[in-house]
């Protein structure tokens, strides 16, 4: 398995191959789904490792004192060898994660294999694919709590223990100094307890976030804004509690605490800041200074943490395990919201680069999560989930891939879309021969033959599928028949172009993929044409590469359907969004360069409008507004993509612009809307002729289809739906 490690001597970070830990009695093996980077504690350790030996000594005077004592007892040579051996070895990082129980040790009866658990401990909840976790350092995740949110459990317990040390009462006023990850959680916990909170932090972005999450007012600790807010809320008496959640070498936090606390107020140190207490100020107010030791009672007690010996609840109400469970319960019930704290979700294999960006300041983050391969999807299964079927290509012979010209095409279906948007491009394309058109009625086949020059017209599908001279089959029928016709054409060894949707149900999608596996034929394209639109492709190229997460907004002014439209036959043809929504999901995914990992959808009561949020692996989001009640004169499709200080804007495939260090705007001359059908067909025909890769990977087509189907599941369940990748 792989694990993030650091050499404290050289400062080197790496993702190392290490053995999988054994499952000892009294604990469980947990396969990680998400682990949380502590942007305070861990980054301090990473930064210290990059210092010179003198710098390391200055940063850890406590360790220097131990070395001096060791020299006195063991002598200089022995001490040197011991210290250098310890420094020049790999040490782990991480202490807060969520994962799936993979194996249960002896004497464990509160969880079983497959359960989702949150884990704690800087020796047991590491940034590693698999961890062994003892009984008192894991708790089951409540139903409905997303794994990425449960990964905050340990850090949440630290904040919760700090709040408990302050003994807040309803109606009191508290000051939180330092609005990093711990401070933001303390703000929310205090607000949930009925305490009015003032925050202090030099970062205005963190101040604004804390105000959104429950603080009454926030400001720079050096400004008058914080003092004025405290004076107004307390009538000039000062706050009841001060929570020090700041780090660094400044003594400003403890001085500010003394100035703004009331007489006999409480000051709780949660972070690791300088504590040169101004004696007069603390003495005159008789301030009660308290320390919060990590996750709570039991921390650093090996009998509790390793041997699983619990403290009686009548004597110790809140142990570290009970704090962990309490925080998860608050998050599950919505009393604490960690989603706004997530600045990025990074792939585990990108751990070293993620730490580098954090250390160098390129990534400004409150919280960063690692997502683990394979099991991340399984971990998300506690929330409503839709499986994204795995694409398995069988060992049977793939279809013959011609290099001859012309390419011979057959059409199954010749309705309005086929005759207006596809066939006009193909009929005049050099190197293409329209071989056969198949329809259910003889007249429509004859009309298509006459208009576009098909060599044959028939109502017999088997005649086409059995014709060895046909290179590719277009499926352009009603939605309910797409999956079955695609399946049959793949089994017949044909390259297939199927107009969207590929499938209307998960079973239909599975049937198509079963045909791929059985036949070995993966030559499939779905008519997601917008990614081929020239204007959008030029805009994406001018936008350039992206380094940070993006926010995409896509408004689809779909309009109302005419009475009698077959789109309204949802019992047989599926919902309207299931029929055409794949277009917009595919476009968003292509622009963001990834497949979605979760889908959330809501619909206003009484109409068909949909608001859909897609989340992507790097933390990017796409919001699709699919509306039917808009004005018919408004453009049908508009989108904005925002990332890295740049904005891409598309206006209904007529105009596009990119704003960044330089501004680009497409031609002001009116143009017809080119949504990419011509370029898409050219790419498909080229793939058929050459036997080269299909225009869009099959895995992407499947992911888009699964995401489109997940919208209905999200509407029914009222919660985000995870797109769990099958293995």
pLDDT mean over 107-128:
95
Q: How far apart are CA 353 and CA 57, in angstroms?
A: 27
* pLDDT above 80 for 676: yes
5: which residues sit within 8 A by CB, 6+ positions away?
Answer: 13, 14, 15, 16, 18, 90, 91, 92, 93
User: How far separated are the first and last CA of the chain, in Å rounded?
Assistant: 18
- Which token pair is 542? 């001018």
* DSSP states along 420-464: IIIHHHHHT-TTEEEEEEE-SSHHHHHHHHHHH--SEEES-HHHH
* pLDDT above 60 for 86: no
Note the pLDDT of residue 381: 40
* Model confidence pTM above 0.75: no
Note the pLDDT of residue 54: 53
Confidence of residue 726 (pLDDT cuts 50, 70, 90): low
- Of 97-101, 387-391, 490-494, 615-619, least confident by mean pLDDT is 387-391
Is cis: bond before 501, omega within 30 of 0?
yes
For residue 637, what are the β-bridge partners?
Answer: 556
- Output the 3-class SS for 93-141: CCCEEEEEEEEECCCCCCCCCCCEEEEECCCCCCCECEEEEEHHHEEEC
Note the pLDDT of residue 61: 64
pLDDT mean over 481-491:
96
For residue 642, what are the β-bridge partners?
Answer: 551, 647
Residue with tokens 């408990």: 164
Kindly state the percentage of the chain with pLDDT values over 70.
86
Is the Cβ–Cβ distance between 480 and 574 less than 8 Å?
yes
Is the Cβ–Cβ distance between 118 and 98 less than 8 Å?
yes
Is the Cβ–Cβ distance between 460 and 438 less than 8 Å?
yes
Note the pLDDT of residue 271: 80
Is the Cβ–Cβ distance between 405 and 425 less than 8 Å?
no
- pLDDT tens digits for 641-657? 999 999 999 999 999 99
Note the pLDDT of residue 21: 86
- pLDDT tens digits for 438-463? 988 767 787 888 889 999 988 889 98
Note the pLDDT of residue 625: 95
Is the Cβ–Cβ distance between 692 and 402 less than 8 Å?
no
- pLDDT tens digits for 206-228? 999 999 999 999 999 999 999 99
In this structure, what are the phi and psi dihedrals at residue 525, rounded to the nearest 5 degrees?
A: -135, 135
Residue with tokens 């972070």: 271
Note the pLDDT of residue 362: 87
Angle between helices 224-234 and 252-260 (to 10 degrees): 30
- Of 51-65, 549-563, 655-669, least confident by mean pLDDT is 51-65
- pLDDT tens digits for 415-435? 888 988 899 999 989 899 999
Angle between helices 482-491 and 506-519 (to 10 degrees): 10
């Amino acid at each position: 398995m792989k694990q993030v490690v650091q050499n404290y001597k050289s400062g080197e970070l790496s993702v190392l191959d290490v053995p999988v830990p054994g499952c000892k009695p009294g604990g469980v093996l947990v396969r990680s789904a998400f682990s949380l980077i502590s942007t305070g504690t861990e980054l301090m350790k990473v930064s210290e490792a990059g210092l010179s030996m003198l710098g390391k000594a200055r940063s850890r005077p406590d360790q220097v004192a131990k070395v001096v004592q060791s020299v006195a007892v063991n002598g200089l040579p022995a001490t040197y060898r011991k210290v250098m051996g310890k420094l020049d070895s790999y040490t782990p990082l991480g202490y807060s994660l969520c994962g799936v129980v993979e194996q249960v040790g002896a004497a464990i009866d509160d969880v079983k294999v497959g359960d989702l658990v949150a884990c704690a401990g800087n020796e047991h909840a590491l940034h590693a694919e698999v961890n062994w976790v003892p009984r008192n350092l894991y708790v089951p995740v409540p139903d409905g709590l997303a794994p990425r949110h449960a990964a905050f459990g340990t850090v949440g317990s630290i904040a919760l223990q700090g709040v408990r040390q302050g003994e807040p009462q309803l109606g009191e006023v508290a000051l939180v100094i330092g609005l990093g990850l711990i401070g933001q959680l303390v703000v929310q916990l205090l607000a949930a307890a009925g305490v009015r909170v003032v925050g202090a932090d030099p970062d205005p972005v963190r101040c604004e976030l804390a105000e959104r999450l429950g603080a009454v007012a926030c400001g720079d600790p050096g400004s008058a804004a914080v003092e004025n807010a405290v004076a107004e809320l307390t009538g000039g008496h000062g706050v009841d509690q001060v929570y020090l959640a700041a780090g660094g070498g400044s003594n400003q936090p403890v001085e500010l605490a003394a100035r703004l606390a009331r007489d006999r107020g409480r000051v709780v140190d949660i972070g690791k800041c300088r504590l040169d207490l101004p004696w007069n100020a603390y003495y005159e107010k008789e301030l009660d200074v308290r320390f919060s030791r990590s996750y709570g009672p039991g921390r650093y007690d090996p009998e509790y943490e390793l041997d699983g010996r619990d403290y009686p609840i009548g004597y110790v109400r809140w142990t570290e395990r009970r704090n962990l469970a309490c925080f998860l319960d608050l998050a599950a019930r919505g009393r604490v919201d960690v989603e706004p704290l997530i600045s990025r979700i990074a792939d585990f294999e990108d751990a070293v680069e993620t730490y580098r960006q954090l250390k160098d300041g390129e990534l400004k983050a409150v919280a960063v999560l690692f997502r683990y391969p394979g099991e991340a999807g399984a971990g998300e299964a506690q929330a409503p989930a839709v499986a994204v079927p795995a694409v398995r290509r069988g060992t049977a012979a793939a279809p013959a891939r011609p290099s001859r010209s012309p390419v011979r095409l057959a059409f199954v279906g010749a309705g309005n879309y086929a005759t207006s948007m596809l066939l006009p491009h193909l009929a005049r394309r050099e190197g293409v021969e329209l071989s056969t058109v198949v329809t259910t009625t003889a007249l429509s086949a004859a009309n298509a033959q006459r208009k576009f020059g098909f060599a044959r017209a028939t109502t017999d599908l088997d005649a086409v599928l059995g014709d060895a001279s046909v290179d590719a089959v277009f499926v352009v029928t009603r939605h309910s028949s797409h999956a079955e016709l695609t399946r049959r054409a793949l089994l017949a060894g044909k390259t297939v172009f199927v107009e969207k949707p590929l499938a209307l149900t998960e079973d239909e999608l599975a049937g198509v993929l079963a045909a791929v596996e059985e036949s070995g034929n993966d030559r499939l394209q779905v008519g997601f044409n917008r990614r081929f639109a020239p204007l959008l492709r030029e805009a994406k190229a001018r936008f350039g590469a992206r380094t940070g997460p993006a926010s995409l907004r896509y408004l689809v002014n779909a309009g109302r359907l005419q009475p009698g439209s077959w789109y309204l036959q949802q019992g047989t043809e599926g919902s309207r969004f299931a029929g055409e929504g794949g277009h917009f999901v595919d476009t968003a995914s292509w622009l963001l360069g990834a497949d979605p990992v979760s889908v959330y959808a809501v619909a206003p009561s009484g109409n068909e409008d949909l608001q859909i949020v897609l989340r992507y692996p790097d933390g990017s989001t796409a919001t699709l507004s699919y509306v039917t009640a808009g004005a018919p004169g408004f453009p049908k499709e508009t989108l904005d993509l925002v990332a890295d200080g740049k904005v891409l804007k598309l206006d209904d495939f007529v105009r596009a612009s990119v704003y960044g260090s330089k501004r680009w705007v497409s031609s002001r001359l009116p143009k017809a809307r080119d949504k990419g059908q011509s370029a898409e067909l050219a790419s498909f025909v080229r793939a058929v002729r050459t036997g080269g890769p299909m225009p869009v990977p099959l895995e992407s087509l499947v992911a888009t289809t699964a995401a489109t189907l997940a919208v209905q599941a999200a509407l029914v369940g009222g919660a985000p739906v995870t797109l769990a990748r099958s293995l």
